[in-house]
Amino acid sequence: MAFRHFRDPGTGDGHASTGPREVIHDCFVLGLSMKNFRLFLAAAAMAATFAPAHAASVRYATPPPVVLSPDAVDPWVLQLRPGQKPIYAAPKAQARATRLPDPRREQRQQANVQPRTVAVTPTRQLAPEFLPTVVDYSGPYKPGTIVIDTEDRHLFLVEQNGRARRYGVGVGRPGFAWAGTHKITRKAEWPGWTPPPEMRQRQPDLPRYMEGGPKNPLGARALYLGSTLYRIHGTSQPWTIGQAVSSGCIRMRNEDVKDLYTRVNVGTKVVVLR
């Protein structure tokens, strides 16, 4: 106890007193302690009584409603309807960073640009007299005959009723002109070309063989004349029509030789005049 060693003022020996005052004091302190203990027990009993009731009321109380955003709920609710197709959230587009042009960089690029000269092939117009047309014809050859006038650079296909279909042609250059009568022995579309040995001797850079195509010198169609090396054929150089430029063949524009190709057959008579 806190006051057990209280000194008696009536004695001067300094010994602890064990008289009635000490007993009264101890009882007083003990009485206070017992009272506090009983209060503690009462409070504990009340807490034990009300705690389960409070816990039960909290446990069985109605929880507050959960509120969701319509943006999160509506797509899923719509999918519960009969016959409704699933709805998927569209991916969010990512914003792209916008890069502003750098004026200094553009100036440097413009300064590095060098002017360039581009070669342009001039368009060559064909003289009207070498375009296809129908003319009057009163010559000795029968309809269906091809007559080639190498001096005037024209090919005629004789037709019925004193008419003839006329085309412009290119003919053999000086030293390669010829005349004679032959028949068409073969027809070919986009023919391949095998330069004859004599031509390869004159032009060593020529290939031994060239597949048919737009760049092939024989052009789109070819009509072979008997056993000769001559042909009536198209050309990849239409501006040469009306000139004496070939090695003896009769050349036509591709569109013109295509037209003639459909009008004649193997066995057609061909007369070449000088």
Q: Kindly report the pTM of this predicted structure.
A: 0.55
Q: Are 167 and 127 in contact (CB under 8 A)?
A: no
Long-range contacts of 47-50 (CB under 8 A, 24+ apart): none
- From the CB of residue 33, how many other CB atoms can be counted at a distance below 10 Å? 10
Report which residue type is found at 251. R
Annotated catalytic, 249? yes
Active-site residue among 25, 54, 154, 249?
249
Cα first-last separation, the chain: 158
What pLDDT, on the 0 to 100 scale, is given for residue 105? 67
Higher pLDDT, 225 or 5: 225
Q: Are 181 and 269 in contact (CB under 8 A)?
A: yes
The 10s digit of each residue's pLDDT in 34-73 is: 666 667 666 666 655 555 555 555 555 666 666 656 655 5
Q: How far apart are CA 10 and CA 13, in angstroms?
A: 9
Q: How far apart are CA 159 and CA 162, in angstroms?
A: 7
How would you class 258 by CB atoms within 10 Å of its CB: exposed for 0-12, middle for 13-18, buried for 19 or more? middle
Instruction: Please enumerate in sequence order all residues whose Cβ is within 8 A of that of 20, keeping only pairs 6 or more positions apart, or say none.
Output: none
How would you class 130 by CB atoms within 10 Å of its CB: exposed for 0-12, middle for 13-18, buried for 19 or more? buried
Using the structure block, give the residue that is written with the tokens 């009882």: 27
Please name which of 232, 210, 211 lies closest in space to residue 221, comparing C-alpha atoms.
Answer: 232
What pLDDT, on the 0 to 100 scale, is given for residue 230? 95
Q: How far apart are CA 203 and CA 89, in angstroms?
A: 73
Q: Are 220 and 140 in contact (CB under 8 A)?
A: no
The 10s digit of each residue's pLDDT in 205-260 is: 889 999 999 999 999 999 999 999 999 999 989 999 999 999 999 999 999 999 99
**Token digits for 181?**
């009568």
The 10s digit of each residue's pLDDT in 147-192 is: 999 999 999 999 999 999 999 999 999 999 999 999 999 999 999 9
Domain 130-273, classified CATH 3.40.50.300, yes or no: no
Q: Are 216 and 237 in contact (CB under 8 A)?
A: no
Report which residue type is found at 69. S
What is the arithmetic mean of pLDDT over 190-203?
A: 90
3-state DSSP assignment of residue 147: strand
Confidence of residue 91 (pLDDT cuts 50, 70, 90): low
User: Can you give the residue ranges of every domain in the chain?
Assistant: 1-54, 130-273
**CA 174 centroid distance within chain:** 55
What pLDDT, on the 0 to 100 scale, is given for residue 125? 82
